[in-house]
Structures are given as structure tokens and as C-alpha cells.
Chains A and B, each alone.
Chain A
Amino acid sequence: MKNNEPIQKTMEELRNELEELRHQLDEANETIDAIRTGQIDALVVEGKDGHQLYTLKTADHTYRVFIEKMSEGAVTVNHEGIILYSNSQFARMINMPLNGIIGLPFEKFVVPENKTIYSVLFNESWKSDGKGEVSLISGNNITPVQLSLTTLELQEGVSLSIIITDLTSQKATQKKLRDNFEQLEQANQALEISNHDLQQFASVASHDLQEPLRKIQVFSNLLKEKQKELTVDSERYLDKIIESASRMKNLIIDILNYSRLSADDHKLECVDLSEVVKELMVDFELMIQDKNAVIQVGKLPCLYVNRGQVRQVFQNIISNALKFSKPGNSSRISINSTRISEKSFNSPLQEDGPYCLIRIRDNGIGFNEKYLASIFALFERLHSKDKYEGTGIGMAIAKKIIDKHNGLITAVSHEGEGAEFRIILPIDQKDV
């Protein structure tokens, strides 16, 4: 027992000592925490020579908060490249506890193949600020980062501060962008090729289709001249062949014209639409007389467009208006235009607006608006071809031309109450 007492005492002392140390550690931790979060500017430490006041050179409140809270890693290294300070973000970046980092050379975290880049950067940056990209070892992963190095004058001497920006997401975004761009490029190329092929096909097919078709026409006509040898039925069948062949010829020509619109022959010039309409009235003279039609033309603008193409649009719409007139009714067509401020059918009027809205109105048979989309589709016909001739391409051509001119086209109608085609075109294509 006698021997046990001092041991017991020692145990007691040790316990107290441990308690004291724990307290000190807690205090130290608190202090460090306080320093880290910027609550302390200076501290007093009890040493052998009494109390000593340590002011923190880097104790600037905002600065420390900034360093600790920022999303970049921040370390300070000495001339040997040994880490003197690290913020917790850097610790997270390299996946190590903060206390294990201090005292290690920064170079240790740089991947072997980037060590030369780093050492050059490290040496240069003592003279002037440096920047560079390296990869850091982060546990089992590699993290691409940007390093920004700059010298820092501390009380202990000059050290180097390194700001480490994680480039992982930036690199990923860059890669994704690159990949997307590549995909887009490929898709574009494929599209261009298929577009070109399609045009080629349409053009060749149409040209080559014309030859045998013409033969059908030639020989049917020759046969028809031998009327005396034909029965009434044979002549009727022959007329059907001639009619169909002529219809097919129109179809082929329309397809050819449609496919040619895709070709890049977009020559623009200043075109007076009044002139275009005047010309068309002459072209349609017979049909106008035939339908007893009256065409009223208001003031039309001069537009910067492809003359032939825009003429085609007006030709197709006017021809439709004449074609789809009410039987027994004299046909009335009006063509008017106004200037508007936006490329929208709801746009307000504006006297010097950048767009013009053209309305071509008729009093014909009209159509149900639920078929609006079909009107502008290729080969769609609302009426049987016996009643109204046509190939069903005219309006598709009109739409394609207006699209190419950065415009809009639509139609408003009710069955039996006429139709109004509305076109919006920019006054000057250069502004688009």
C-alpha cells in the first residue's frame, strides 16, 4: 500500500495533467478556429519570458474569411516549396486532412508528368506572378487545376502564395462543348450531303423523267392524228393519256423548281413589288378575262429580295385566287401592304417599320382553316384534281421562298368566304 500511494497520486496528477492538456488543446483549437474565421487579430501567449503579444500579419479580418470561405484552394509555401499554410478547401481538393498537409512540399501533390511544369512555374513566380495548369493527385483521383502564384511578404520573410482553382467541371464542360460541337459538325455535314444528294436526285430524276415522258406525249399525239383509224373509246383513252402526261410534266417541272430553290443562288436586288404584280397581271390577262376578275392593287413596297423567287410567290397566290374562284361569281382580288414593327402577324403598325405585311385577298371558295398546314405542304391538295387543276406544289414553293427570305406566310379563310394570304417580309435582308 505504501508503495502504491505515490503511484495513485501520480495517476491523479496524470489525470489532471491530461485534463489540463485537453483544455489547452481545446483552447488552441478554438484559437485556431478563431484565427481561421477571422475573429482574432492578435493573441497573447504565455511563454517562459512572460506574456508575449503576437499580432497576425495576415490577420486582416476580411482577408482571412475570404481565404477560408473561397472555393479555391490557397496555400503558402516557402523557398523550399514547403507548405506553410493551407486553407481547408485545398485539403478537400487533395482529399487529405488539413493537419497532414502543413510541412509537406507542394510538389508532392503534383502528378509526375507535370512536375517540370510546376518547378518552372515555382521558380519563375518568385520574380513575377505566374499562372499554369497542372493535375494534382487527389487520393485515387487526378484533379486538373489552375495555379496562380504570387509572392507574399510575411513577417518571417517572403513566401509564395498559390491559389488553386479546380478545373474539373470547367474541363468537363469544355469537353462536352467540344463533343457537342463535333456531333453538330458531323450532323451538319451529313445534312449537307443528304441535301445536296436530294437536290441532285430531284434535278437528275426530273430531267431524265422528261425524256420518256415527252416520248409518250409525242407518240400519243401522233396516234391521235390517225383519228380515222380510232374508235370512239380508243380516242377517249388516248385523250386520258395525253392529259395525264401533261399533268405529269407540270409535276416534274414543279419538283424541279422546288428542288432548285434549295440551291444557293440567292441573288438579292431591290425589287418594286408593284412592278412584279403589274407584270403578272399581263401574264394572267386571259385568265382574268375568263374569270371576269377585278384585281385591285394598293401601294406596294420595294424590297431587297430575289426577284424571280418573289415573283413566283405572287404568281402562285394570284393564280390560286383566280383558280379557286366561286363558279358563276366574278372574282375579286385585292393586294395591299402595310409596314409593321415586328416579324409577327400580331405586330403593331409602324410607318417606317423594318417589316412589311402583304395581304392578298380573294372572294373565292376559301378553305377550312384546319387544313392550313396542308396548304403549305408539298403535294397536298385540298380539292380533287378533276375540279381544280394543279400539282399541289405551288404553295409549298411559296412558303419555301418566303422562309428563305426570312419572312412568314400564313392564310386566313372560312369555307365559302374567300381566303386571305398574309406574307411578312423584311424590307432589307441585311438587317435580318
Chain B
Amino acid sequence: MFPKKLLLAEDDEDDKQLFHDFLHHRSDLLLMPAAENGVALLETLDNIRDAKDLPDFIILDQNMPRKNGLQTLELLKSNKRYTHIPVMVYSSYADQHLVKTCSEKGASAVCSKPITYKEYNDMIENFLGTIIHNQTNRQGF
């Protein structure tokens, strides 16, 4: 099975580095170069000519300048080209309000930013699990 292409939008250098350090070893993931923020992420996507090169899923930091996670999510979901890509929003603190609004706007998952190596990998596995679960459900077996 091909590794899944993952695109991250994250403005925090430390978190970008952690994300890479904790996850780049995974054989089931292909980490695309992370975008600085929501606007940069949309530019990156628009510059991808071939649809088969689009990421398989996207992770958005909520707290970003210019366009935050939620705003970027809305733009992604309202664009026919990207609406099918599963999106997860993560934040230093994902409260009920954020979980609710992001879910309503079509996020596949919402969570608090992990702290440890294990938590980062658990987060990815949960996200992948949710996506596979959703896809099998959609296919109706």
C-alpha cells in the first residue's frame, strides 16, 4: 500500500519540527512540506496541477495568523476540488466549542495537540482509523 500524503498547516516552528520528528519515520505516511498558515496551504494546493498529487489528508492548526484552522477548513470544504479531502483540526486546547463548530463545518476530527511521541502517533492512527471507518461506511460495504 502506498503511503498516504499528509499536508500540515502550522505556523509554530517548534510544533512543525515536533510533527516531523515524531512522524517522519512512519512508512504509512508521506509528509509533504508543511505550510506556514491557512493561506499558504491553499496556495500550495492551488499550485498542484495534477489532482492525484493532492494530499490524502490535511491537518490544520487552529491558531494561525491570516486564516485560522476553522476559516481554512471552511474554504477547503466549499471548494469542489478539495471538499473530499479529510481534514483534522488540532489546537493547544480543543474545547467543546471548537469540536462542535469544526465538526459542523465538516472536519473529520478535532483534537488537542499531543505532548509525547506516543500521543502524536496515537493521534495519527485515530485520524486514519476515522477516515477508513467513514470511507467503508460511505461505501456501505
Contacts and interface: CB of A to CB of B under 8 A. Distances in A.
Interface of A: 206-207, 210-211, 214-215, 217-218, 221, 225, 252-253, 256, 308
B116 A214 contact: no
Nearest to B97: A260
Given A207-B93, A211-B63, A218-B116, 17 more contacts: A206-B93, A207-B92, A210-B92, A210-B93, A211-B12, A211-B92, A214-B92, A214-B115, A215-B14, A217-B115, A218-B14, A221-B115, A221-B116, A225-B117, A253-B93, A256-B93, A256-B95
Interface of B: 12, 14, 18, 63, 92-93, 95-96, 113, 115-117
Contact of A214 (B95, B96, B113, B117): B113
A308 B115 CA distance: 27
Q: Which 3 A-B pairs have the closest CB atoms?
A: A210-B92, A210-B93, A211-B92
A218 B95 contact: no
Contacts of A214: 92, 113, 115
A253 B63 CA distance: 17
B92 A218 contact: no
A253 B112 CA distance: 12
Residue among B95, B96, B115, B116 with max Cβ neighbours from chain A (10 Å): B115
Nearest to A206: B93
Contact of A218 (B18, B63, B96): B18
Residue among B92, B96, B117 with max Cβ neighbours from chain A (10 Å): B92
Contacts of A225: 117
A207 B116 CA distance: 20
Contacts of A210: 92-93
Contacts of B117: 225
A253 B18 CA distance: 24
Contacts of B92: 207, 210-211, 214
A214 B120 CA distance: 13
A218 B93 contact: no
B34 to A, nearest CB: 17
Nearest to A256: B95
Contacts of A206: 93
A217 B112 CA distance: 13
Contacts of B96: 308
A253 B115 CA distance: 16
Nearest to B115: A217
Contacts of B12: 211
26 contacts: A206-B93, A207-B63, A207-B92, A207-B93, A210-B92, A210-B93, A211-B12, A211-B63, A211-B92, A214-B92, A214-B113, A214-B115, A215-B14, A217-B115, A218-B14, A218-B18, A218-B115, A218-B116, A221-B115, A221-B116, A225-B117, A252-B93, A253-B93, A256-B93, A256-B95, A308-B96
Contacts of A218: 14, 18, 115-116
Contacts of A221: 115-116
A217 B18 CA distance: 13
A215 B93 CA distance: 12
Contacts of A217: 115
Nearest to A212: B92
A50 B89 CA distance: 116
A218 B92 CA distance: 11
B124 to A, nearest CB: 16
A272 to B, nearest CB: 21
A304 B112 CA distance: 32
A211 B11 CA distance: 12
A207 B62 CA distance: 11
B93 to A, nearest CB: 4
A217 B115 CA distance: 6
A214 B92 CA distance: 7
Nearest to B114: A218
B54 to A, nearest CB: 30
Residue among A206, A211, A225, A256 with max Cβ neighbours from chain B (10 Å): A211
Contacts of B116: 218, 221
A218 B96 CA distance: 23
Contacts of B113: 214
Nearest to A218: B115
Nearest to A221: B116
B112 to A, nearest CB: 8
Nearest to A242: B115
A206 B63 CA distance: 13
A211 B92 CA distance: 6
A256 B117 CA distance: 27
Contacts of A256: 93, 95
A215 B14 CA distance: 8
A206 B91 CA distance: 13
Nearest to B117: A225
Nearest to A265: B97
Contacts of A308: 96
A233 B14 CA distance: 27
Contacts of A253: 93
Nearest to A217: B115
A10 B63 CA distance: 118
Nearest to B21: A222
A125 B63 CA distance: 75
A31 to B, nearest CB: 88
B10 to A, nearest CB: 12
